[in-house]
Structure 1
């Protein structure tokens, strides 16, 4: 099992090396066969020369058909992204004009505002009085079938903002955006998930808490200790610590209506984001506690202040995230921002903190997916999350500035591709699922009470032998145990999941290898007969590559409409909230952004294949990556202009 675990953690690197070795074997044998295997032919013969030896033989055929398979996947991905962005844009237009969401209000009931001075050990609260005046709006049955305004008031949104050495302006702006939502004072519990190793972090946290204490239902902060063994610094460990601490705040009877949302420090969310989650949570009680909510992201704040190559890299990163968010999609991994019920967090034992979980959004999705035997419900929130492009502040500073911005984006790409470790995690989980496929029930406890020797939150069966699942225990050590009936594994969804993982973590490198090696193969075999009968494959692959680039260009064109709609909605909401002054709004125009389309052939290898290969090679001797914080842009530092500058 130890060997299997070692191999799964390096599955990407092993696959890359295997393909490279196979390609070398094929090319070397074909070259040798052509060099020494020609038949003698008269000078006046017009037929193509042929050779006796088989060259790579069956390995050449396997290599060629795998090449075709990779090219088909490369062709299919932008098609799915195109369908997804069209579907999202058309549905966003309907949501924007929805009277229900425009008039969405929460009841007058005020549960109280609280603030705390948290430590790395506990999260405590002291009551603070505040006033609130919210009108009771008409809630249409379309979103709330029971028509009861009070029902919406019971849903609490626990918003966790992991951050480490983030600037105060960045955090303040994010909190300002959340505070302007009409439901913030009645439904938002804000948790600043901070790092103890940051200098003066408690003073920083207390300053933000005191500033925003009256603007939310509650606001607290947690400090992730720096000395916990086997925990890597980063968003995942901050989320894990904050989740365990916030879990203590909610009693058993309330937990089913607590939605935990993890956001980046620079993420701007519309009030529609939480309104839509609330409506779906209440409208679908049968799946409410087995649902993970994902939303598309859009880089609409400082796109005009980064080089085109960086801008396009982020747009294509959006494509990767959006490609699973179309209607009917059963596999929808989140990107950066996502929400899930607290009971689901309890079920899976919270967030992992080891180096393998550096891509905490995908990692948490996989934990939930396999905990439910592949029966995780995925719902798309039709409310784009505003993000900032990565920058080192080098835009407009010549070649050195361009290099610094590209270097900053490359570091982020490497961090993204480091998530290839999640493929190994999924492989181990599917083996575990197969071994336990006959188990029909499990039991789990609240996150803060889960056993320390388990990583998935489940209570060992031998501890429950004397418990009756049909009869809850009123007192004692297992009084908070929840029994759960599992559905049979959904193997079709599992197959779809591994297709997406292969697409994310294997496809970039394998495609690059084939682009290079097939070019060499065609050069080596030029002018010889096609003894293997595979020549048609390389012709098809050339057409697929060409069509793939055309599809990416079409996606970029369709992204213009999505971007325009998203930035327009955000700007209108910020105008109404009085926050638009000095805030960044990056508008796009096709005629001024033509250079973006030219950047696609450069973006794919620089921010896709190369960092992916580097990450997979590094995994052979380490799974740890030093987590760095990217520079953010805030309304205090920049002005809104139209994109279109040339690099």
Structure 2
């Protein structure tokens, strides 16, 4: 390992510790440079926030459009079936019972097609266009998760129309969980006959070199399932969907995946990334927890509207079995604890930048952390936040992958793809590579690294600087009670002695006031989206979704931002100096009732 690798490891802890030291010592020891630093940081943060808002607008529009188009097609299909049924009755009376079989198992009379018939036929063809082309393997990792929660999650998949023919459930158990065999057997028995296949894998405990968590569980389950499924189906037709134990996946998401893969020029290097949504138990948790997950959802949603396909998945995502096998499946060491982002980065760099995201604008409904007791619920969310921000390891990983000089090897491409009529053929002796195997540009690598830095370095710095920098500077440099005048009698206050720096600090104050505005605009936009998704996709009633009273949730933003973002991310960054492993703790989800209706 080169010295630059160690330097990359120091980026995260240096940034977090540096933010605190600059905040406390900057106004005293280098006030002029500190004012310039604040102006640059705040301006950059404001630019990023405005960009996030614009991208969030695009995502909201696309989500609403997908949901409404889907509902319109469902209504048309229902009308078509009702129309065909009425025609059957009519034909029995007027055409001597001459009935012929037609599509979808329905029957109709042998008469000429009308314009309405053609419209319905085209609509149904569009609905069925993507059916049956792929086998969907859902990896459901879990450790000490409540069985009712797992049963509810799997039940929602069983409601999908193609579940018995194209769905495979991969229930990824942990050997270290007490009675995992009993729970797995119970779930398999419950859903006997509901899916094409139901596979149970048991990840061994205490594997040398592995870090316990979702990543190692998924890696083991995917490898085992790959071997089993390869004996039964063509692996080129298998799509892995990695999910959480609490993910409610609508049928529309699967339809959109198949559409995206069918339209993709390179489906084997396509990673499907959906938005996440917290609505299953949001009304039953503290407002600070609720608003934290809303902000988390917003950040994921805006990230999806990346025009270059450089969008990071969160929690749930889909990719081909071919791609998973090509990159060596999921990493399992302690630097891969942020399994979703890490796998995306691994696919991107291992394929030379060929692997890209396709946004699937269909929300995956998750549960908030929930325990009995208000303060225990707050603490449980803090524990979850600490685990999430351990993904800061990807800062060093992305820097190493982008700038260490390691190149993608064409030998990583599976041999069966090279002879496939579906994939462009690559002949190593020709010296030429098809466009789908071209390496990414340095610009793409730089953009990916900047996005990773944004995801992890802003949380560990913004809370300190945004909340405290301006008032602390005012106290130290402007207040009559400033300790500087006592301890540093010769100190030259630039804000007092220089008209230019007085103007600069006024500019810093003005920009600081604008910093939360884009986020608040996102929150306003989110409220309308939340109601649309609840009512039109999840079919919730008005008493089961957010109301105007929930707007008061956003008063908790300063508290939740510092408690669930700044503090845990700072701790995660500093911990990189020791690179110690955390205990495997599952987020508490003591949920007994789910109020929303199952989507049709």
TM-score range, shorter chain: 0.7 to 0.9
Residues 296/585 of structure 1: CA separation in 2 closer, same or farther (3 Å cut):
farther
Tell whether 2:17 aligns with 1:11. Answer: no
RMSD between aligned residues: 3.4
Aligned equivalents of 2:198, 2:287: Cα separation in 1: 39
SS at match of 2:361: coil
* Runs of 5+ unmatched residues, structure 1: 30-55, 106-132, 395-400, 450-466, 472-481, 575-579, 642-647
2:569 to 612, 622, 636: 612
Are the aligned partners of 2:266 and 2:436 in contact in 1 as well (CA < 8 Å)? Answer: no
Aligned to 2:131: 152
SS at match of 1:158: strand
- TM normalised by structure 1 equals 0.75
1:559 to 514, 526, 536: 526
Q: Which has the higher helix share?
A: 2
Aligned 1:274-293 pairs, distance under 5 A: 274-284=254-264, 286-293=265-272
- TM normalised by structure 2 equals 0.81
Are the aligned partners of 1:190 and 1:220 in contact in 2 as well (CA < 8 Å)? Answer: yes
Deviations 1:245-302 (A, max 9, x none): 1111226982222111101001001000001101111122x22111111111111111
2:478 to 526, 539, 543: 526
Aligned to 2:387: 415
Tell whether 2:162 aligns with 1:183. Answer: yes
Offset of 1:134 from its aligned partner?
6.8
Pick which of 163-172 and 90-99 moved more. 90-99
Aligned to 2:98: none
Are the aligned partners of 2:144 and 2:586 in contact in 1 as well (CA < 8 Å)? Answer: yes
Aligned 1:445-460 pairs, distance under 5 A: 445=414
Residues 484/234 of structure 1: CA separation in 2 closer, same or farther (3 Å cut):
farther
SS at match of 2:538: helix
Aligned equivalents of 2:50, 2:276: Cα separation in 1: 19
Aligned to 1:172: 151
Aligned equivalents of 1:148, 1:20: Cα separation in 2: 55
Pick which of 511-520 and 86-95 moved more. 511-520
Are the aligned partners of 1:443 and 1:483 in contact in 2 as well (CA < 8 Å)? Answer: no
Aligned equivalents of 2:123, 2:514: Cα separation in 1: 41
Count, aligned residues: 533
Aligned equivalents of 1:230, 1:414: Cα separation in 2: 22
Aligned equivalents of 2:584, 2:302: Cα separation in 1: 27
Are the aligned partners of 2:354 and 2:436 in contact in 1 as well (CA < 8 Å)? Answer: no
Are the aligned partners of 2:76 and 2:123 in contact in 1 as well (CA < 8 Å)? Answer: no
Aligned equivalents of 1:84, 1:69: Cα separation in 2: 23
Aligned to 1:479: none
Aligned 1:85-96 pairs, distance under 5 A: 85-96=56-67
Are the aligned partners of 2:168 and 2:198 in contact in 1 as well (CA < 8 Å)? Answer: yes
Aligned equivalents of 1:139, 1:180: Cα separation in 2: 27
Offset of 1:526 from its aligned partner?
2.4
Tell whether 2:455 aligns with 1:504. Answer: yes
Aligned 1:155-554 pairs, distance under 5 A: 155-248=134-227, 249-250=229-230, 254-284=234-264, 286-326=265-305, 328=307, 330-394=309-373, 401=374, 403-432=375-404, 434-436=405-407, 441-445=410-414, 469=428, 486-515=437-466, 516-526=468-478, 528-530=493-495, 533-554=500-521
Aligned to 1:622: 579
* Runs of 5+ unmatched residues, structure 2: 78-102, 107-116, 417-425, 480-492
Deviations 1:569-617 (A, max 9, x none): 3433x9xxxxx9xxx9840112x11321211122211111111111112
Deviations 1:346-379 (A, max 9, x none): 2211111111111101111111121233343211
Aligned equivalents of 1:504, 1:623: Cα separation in 2: 22
Offset of 1:490 from its aligned partner?
2.2
Are the aligned partners of 2:253 and 2:360 in contact in 1 as well (CA < 8 Å)? Answer: yes
Are the aligned partners of 2:68 and 2:536 in contact in 1 as well (CA < 8 Å)? Answer: no
Are the aligned partners of 1:302 and 1:585 in contact in 2 as well (CA < 8 Å)? Answer: no
Are the aligned partners of 1:294 and 1:333 in contact in 2 as well (CA < 8 Å)? Answer: yes
Residues 19/548 of structure 1: CA separation in 2 closer, same or farther (3 Å cut):
closer
Offset of 1:554 from its aligned partner?
1.9
Aligned to 1:66: 37
Residues 631/435 of structure 1: CA separation in 2 closer, same or farther (3 Å cut):
closer
Are the aligned partners of 1:103 and 1:138 in contact in 2 as well (CA < 8 Å)? Answer: no
Aligned equivalents of 2:306, 2:6: Cα separation in 1: 37
SS at match of 1:637: coil
